[in-house]
Structure 1
Amino acid sequence: MKRRVVIALIGGVMSALWLPRARAAGKVYRIVFVVPTGQYLDAKEGDAWKGLVTAFLQGLRELGYVDGKNMKFEFYSAEGKFGQIDEIAARVLVTSPDVILAGGGGANEVAHAFQRLTRTVPIVMANSSDPAAQGLVASLAHPGANITGFSGNTGPEFEAKRLQLLREVAPNAIRVAYLGLKLDWESPAAIGVRSAAERLGITLLHAEHAPSNYEDAFGLITREQLQGLFVARNPWNFSNRRGITGFARDRRMPAVYPTREFAEVAGLICYGPSLSDLYRRAAGHVDRILKGAKPAELPVEQPTKFELVINSRTAGELGLNIPAALLALADEVTD
């Protein structure tokens, strides 16, 4: 009789333990992907935004999440209008999402918008910039609230190396434009680039652009007859990469860019973290949160995969001979 009681008790305990899992198995999770600029559904095949969202969704599929079955995926873009990020955040939170994915180089702006409205809904940043300095997390190791994710920060030394690469492929380019926002120019990364320019004998001028206006920046580059272009890492440069690489080609100006997506639209040389890898890894953070992990205890992770991509066709059009040693180091040479 006692044996039957023990078995019954064990059975009851096991049922209680499995009950939450059974409920979780039948739940359809709402995962909302928000970016400050860019498109996914209306993007053309091959467009970088489409590729990055696809990388995130592929990461989720590998972990067992299928859109329309056990999760519902939604994508929102502010289309470059800062004010709309707050409007999107308010609209999304009314519908009680399970996780917010803050995407783009402007992941900070997205995270700030949601942070102003909630301290409970989990937010995963796919490609943030200095989240601790921006007040989004207490520290990278211990975020401390409802925000975590990945930082795309490369640091001053890495950014200085990008300028060195430009010097290697275009040694005669001694007057170079730094294409970025005022915020970029004043950042620790840019200070590292400016110090490197002094060591390399390069005159570096800030060609400041507005979030959606490059006319003044391009005008300064033209007037000053600058010989090279260093493109800062920010969401606006990413979204306007076709116009930027087109401007550089029209002026026959060698340029160095922050990610491989620029090489895909005729950018000469690109060196930086793999964005697709960051987005794929972000799916892992989402999975851990949906399984019960707290964002406050999930460290903000750094890039682990970096890519050097050289566009040989653009090099040929500019009459540049890429050093054989550099070609050997490249992860990919496109044409």
Structure 2
Amino acid sequence: MRGERAVRRAIIASLLALALALFAPPPAADSQPPAKVFRIGILGTYPPTTPEVAHLWEAFIQGLRELGYVEGQNIAIERRFMEGKAERLPELAAELVRLNVSVIVAGSQPPPVAAKRATATIPIVMTNFSDPVGLGLVTSLARPGGNVTGLSLLTVELVGKQLQLLKQAVPKASRVAFLTNPGNPGAALQLREAETAARSLGVQLQVLEARRPDELAGAFAAMTRESAGAVLLPGDSLFFFYRKQIADLALKSRLPAMFAPREFAEAGGLMAYGANIPDLYRRAATYVDKILKGAKPADLPIEQPTKFELIINLKTAKALGLTVPQSVLIRADHVIQ
């Protein structure tokens, strides 16, 4: 009997020990090292709450998600936007520097210029800057050499091709308006490229400027007064944001218009030829990932788009009374009916 009681007590003790092990609370949270949370700064033109650019920043955030970065878990994002007021950029960039973010993602232009002026140490990733070498942000595309890297949009190099396509679509256009934004850091380079292309195509270039949206209507009125046969708009954040207004003004002025991003043709412009901008924003996330893992921007080559889309809006062509030559149509990646 005494032996049986001893066995029962040993069994009960073992069961109690097992229960305590199974149902014991986990170790205190503070006993484990906290997961590192990276702070990412965004310096852009317009916030993602505006429909005109929402898809761009969503592409960037999606790119981060695909790489395992989730806001509120392992990253915190500080967002600053100039909202059409470029004079605010220096202070907005300085705020991100004071917050000591791990990396600054500078969207479009001119935010990368402001970010570079604000810091020479915090890594800067461009989403779609026009000409980082020509404007002095980096030493070369292959080896940037400083704290700036990312993606170049090739807006300067594309101007000649855009003018050529526009001329082929509207063969009778001997005078083409070129609308430029002097506030764009790459404006002078874009104009120089346009002038070179115009000479080779035998086209007379009519140069007009618009720094603000309220100057767009006056620019189109001047095009009509001076009998422009078409209009070319180089890559620019102001023109991108107000693409619907520009497309409407071009149609009202009976002007075939060419712009870089496909969003312009989708908004009612006649033609667009350029890179896929949302894809560039998504690709910017890969640069952020590499930098957060220890890579130096000076050693990360700047990417350039390798594929360009030609979009033609035949609905707009019909409204203009324009027949786009078949030789141009067959080259289009997408035709809007």
TM bucket (normalised to shorter chain) is 0.7 to 0.9
- Describe how 1:1-335 pairs up with structure 2 within 5 A: 26-35=35-44, 37-41=45-49, 43-44=50-51, 47=52, 49-104=53-108, 106=109, 109-156=110-157, 158-182=158-182, 186-187=188-189, 189-212=190-213, 213-335=215-337
Q: Percent identity?
A: 44
**For 2:118, what is the secondary structure of its paired residue?**
coil
Task: Please give the alpha-carbon distance, in whole angstroms, between the structure 1 residues aligned to 2:217 and 2:76.
Answer: 40
Q: Is the 8 A contact 1:277 1:305 kept in 2?
A: no
Deviation at 1:121, TM superposition (A): 1.3
**For 1:179, what is the secondary structure of its paired residue?**
strand
One-letter amino acid matched to 2:305: P
Task: Please give the alpha-carbon distance, in whole angstroms, between the structure 2 residues aligned to 1:266 and 1:51.
Answer: 18
Q: Is the 8 A contact 2:43 2:106 kept in 1?
A: yes
**For 1:214, what is the secondary structure of its paired residue?**
helix
Task: Please give the alpha-carbon distance, in whole angstroms, between the structure 1 residues aligned to 2:134 and 2:128.
Answer: 15
Task: Please give the alpha-carbon distance, in whole angstroms, between the structure 2 residues aligned to 1:140 and 1:198.
Answer: 29
Task: Please give the alpha-carbon distance, in whole angstroms, between the structure 1 residues aligned to 2:292 and 2:107.
Answer: 18
User: Could you give the per-residue CA deviations for residues 235-259 of structure 1, whole angstroms, max 9, x where no partner exists?
Assistant: 2211221221111010111111111
Gaps of 5+ in 1: 1-21
Gaps of 5+ in 2: 1-31
Task: Please give the alpha-carbon distance, in whole angstroms, between the structure 2 residues aligned to 1:229 and 1:110.
Answer: 27
Deviation at 1:211, TM superposition (A): 4.2
Deviation at 1:27, TM superposition (A): 1.4
Q: Is the 8 A contact 2:78 2:96 kept in 1?
A: no
Rg bigger for which structure? 2
Task: Please give the alpha-carbon distance, in whole angstroms, between the structure 2 residues aligned to 1:125 and 1:195.
Answer: 28
Closer, same or farther in 2 for the Cα pair 1:259/1:139, shift >3 Å? same
Task: Please give the alpha-carbon distance, in whole angstroms, between the structure 2 residues aligned to 1:84 and 1:281.
Answer: 27
- State the 4+ residue runs in structure 1 displaced beyond 6 angstroms: none
Q: TM-score normalised to the size of structure 2?
A: 0.83
Closer, same or farther in 2 for the Cα pair 1:184/1:70, shift >3 Å? closer
Task: Please give the alpha-carbon distance, in whole angstroms, between the structure 2 residues aligned to 1:90 and 1:195.
Answer: 38
User: Could you give the per-residue CA deviations for residues 91-150 of structure 1, whole angstroms, max 9, x where no partner exists?
Assistant: 22222211110002x1xx322322233222111011112212322212222222211111
One-letter amino acid matched to 1:28: V
Partner residue in 1 for 2:15: none
Deviation at 1:199, TM superposition (A): 3.3
Task: Please give the alpha-carbon distance, in whole angstroms, between the structure 1 residues aligned to 2:46 and 2:169.
Answer: 31
One-letter amino acid matched to 1:72: A
Closer, same or farther in 2 for the Cα pair 1:83/1:195, shift >3 Å? closer
Q: Is the 8 A contact 2:156 2:186 kept in 1?
A: no
Q: How many equivalent pairs are there?
A: 303
Deviation at 1:155, TM superposition (A): 4.6
Q: Is the 8 A contact 1:166 1:256 kept in 2?
A: yes
One-letter amino acid matched to 2:244: R
Deviation at 1:216, TM superposition (A): 4.2
Closer, same or farther in 2 for the Cα pair 1:122/1:186, shift >3 Å? closer
Deviation at 1:215, TM superposition (A): 4.7
Task: Please give the alpha-carbon distance, in whole angstroms, between the structure 1 residues aligned to 2:334 and 2:92.
Answer: 38
User: Could you give the per-residue CA deviations for residues 142-195 of structure 1, whole angstroms, max 9, x where no partner exists?
Assistant: 222211111112554x322211211222122222100113466632x4333323
Closer, same or farther in 2 for the Cα pair 1:138/1:229, shift >3 Å? same
Q: Is the 8 A contact 2:250 2:256 kept in 1?
A: yes
